[in-house]
């Protein structure tokens, strides 16, 4: 599903990201673990097409994304990757249901007639059937992250990337959200890459990739 080999990306003067090799088979749930600043989020951004490698190979679902144009990367993300962010990143002017529907609107992988019923069904599945028409600012952080999970799953993508998805939540809510994310990813049989610096969270996933040392200082 995911192949990263000899991947380099210049992050600044004298600072470089380098990943020698990462292979993630389809359907695997893997934690990208490491201390802050080690390069785990950069690795996730390279795999999800938010960043482009300077050299090396980044292949996702058979597509070498390092050679894609900006427009092709937009399409790649819309068609293949679901995102869960640490700060939820719901769009403030829209309701929970509209946020989920917007994901389908931009992705263009689900027929328009299915947007509404699918959004309702997913929000009900994450326990927010009663908040369909609530706007993000009226929801708790836990509820917002559950909307974000529903949004990530809306397009039936094969890959879900989650960057510190519980980083902004209190421990109790974090556990509940994590349980929900893992459960839904298992149900949907998607590949999950989850970035975390917390070992106890990383250990809940069946696979772990230690990102320590991906960011290196190099001679200018």
Partner 1 sequence: MSLWHIAWSYLWNRKFTTILTILSVALAVALISSVLTLREETRKRFEEEGQAFDLVVGAKGSPLQLVLSSVYFMDSPTGNIPYAEYEQLKADKEYVKAAFPISIGDSYLGFRIVGTVRELFEHKWESLLTGAQRAPFQLADGRYFEKSMEAVLGAAVAQQTGLKVGETFVSTHGVIAVPESLGGHSHANLPYTVVGILKPSGSPFDRAVYTSLNSVWDAHRHGPNESGEAHEEHHEAEAGHPEEEEEAAYQEWGAKPESMITAVLVQLQSQLLRFQYREKIRETTSVMAAIPINEIATFYDQFLGTAKLVLLAVGYLVVIISALSILIGLYLSIIQRKRDLAVMRALGASTYDIFGAVLIEAFWVTILGIGCGWLVGGAVSFGLGKYLAWRFGLTISAFNLTTEHLGAFATVALVGLIAGILPAWQAYHGDVAHDLAER
Segment contacting partner 1 (CB under 8 A): 18-26, 31-39, 69-77, 182-190? 69-77
Binding segment (CB under 8 A) for partner 1, from list 24-32, 53-61, 91-99, 192-200: 91-99
89 binds partner 1 (CB under 8 A): yes
Site string for partner 1, 106-135 (x = CB under 8 A): xxx------x--------------------
Phi, psi of 219 (to 5 degrees): -65, 130
Considering only residues 29, 40, 77, 197, which one is a binding residue for partner 1 as defined by CB under 8 A? Answer: 77
Q: Least distance (Å) from partner 1 to the CB of residue 70?
A: 8
Stretch that binds partner 1, among 59-67, 96-104, 174-182, 193-201 (CB under 8 A): 96-104
**DSSP sequence for 121-160:** HHHHHTT-GGGTT--GGGS-HHHHHHHHHHHHHTT--SEE
Beta pairing, strands 29-33 & 191-196? parallel
Are the C-beta atoms of 177 and 166 separated by less than 8 Å? Answer: yes
In the complex, the smallest distance separating the C-beta of residue 41 from partner 1, rounded to whole angstroms, is 7
Q: Which helix (H) or strand (E) holds 55?
A: strand 55-60
Residues contacting residue 70 through CB under 8 Å, at least 6 positions apart: none
Comparison of 146 and 172: residue with beta carbon closer to partner 1: 146
CB nearer to partner 1: pick between 92 and 219: 92
Euclidean distance between CA atoms 165 and 86, whole angstroms: 4
For residue 160, the minimal CB distance to partner 1 (Å) is: 13
Of 25 and 87, CB closest to partner 1: 87
Per DSSP bridges, beta strands 215-217 and 207-210 are unpaired
Q: Which of 92, 189, 200, 220 binds partner 1 (CB under 8 A)?
A: 92
Q: In the window 154-213, what residues touch partner 1 (CB under 8 A)?
A: none
- Cβ neighbors of 101 (< 8 A, separation 6 or more) are 115, 116, 119, 154
33 near partner 1, rule: CB under 8 A: no
Q: What is the DSSP string of 58-112?
A: EEETTEEGGG--HHHHHHHHHHHEEEE-TT----TTS-HHHHHHHHHHHH--S-H
Contact footprint for partner 1 (CB under 8 A): 41, 45, 48, 50-51, 70-71, 74-75, 77-79, 83, 85, 87, 89, 91-94, 98, 101-103, 105-108, 115, 151
């Amino acid at each position: 599903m995911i192949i990263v080999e000899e991947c380099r990306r210049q992050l600044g003067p004298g600072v470089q990201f380098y990943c020698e090799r990462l292979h993630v088979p389809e359907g695997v749930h893997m934690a990208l673990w490491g201390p802050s600043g080690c390069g785990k989020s950069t690795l996730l951004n390279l795999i999800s097409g938010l960043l482009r490698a300077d050299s090396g190979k980044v292949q996702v679902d058979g597509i070498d994304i390092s050679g894609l144009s900006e427009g092709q990367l937009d399409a790649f993300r819309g068609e293949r990757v679901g995102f869960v962010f640490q700060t939820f990143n719901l769009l403030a002017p829209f309701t929970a249901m509209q946020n989920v529907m917007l994901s389908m609107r931009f992705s263009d992988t689900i027929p328009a007639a299915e947007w509404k019923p699918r959004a309702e069904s997913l929000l009900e599945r994450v326990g927010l059937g009663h908040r369909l028409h609530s706007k993000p600012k009226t929801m708790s952080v836990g509820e917002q992250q559950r909307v974000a999970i529903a949004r990530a799953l809306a397009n039936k993508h094969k890959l879900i990337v989650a960057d510190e998805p519980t980083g902004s939540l209190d421990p109790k809510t974090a556990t509940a959200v994590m349980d929900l994310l893992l459960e839904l990813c298992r149900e949907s049989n998607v590949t999950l890459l989850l970035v975390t610096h917390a070992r106890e969270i990383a250990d809940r996933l069946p696979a772990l990739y230690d990102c320590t040392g991906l960011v290196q200082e190099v001679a200018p």
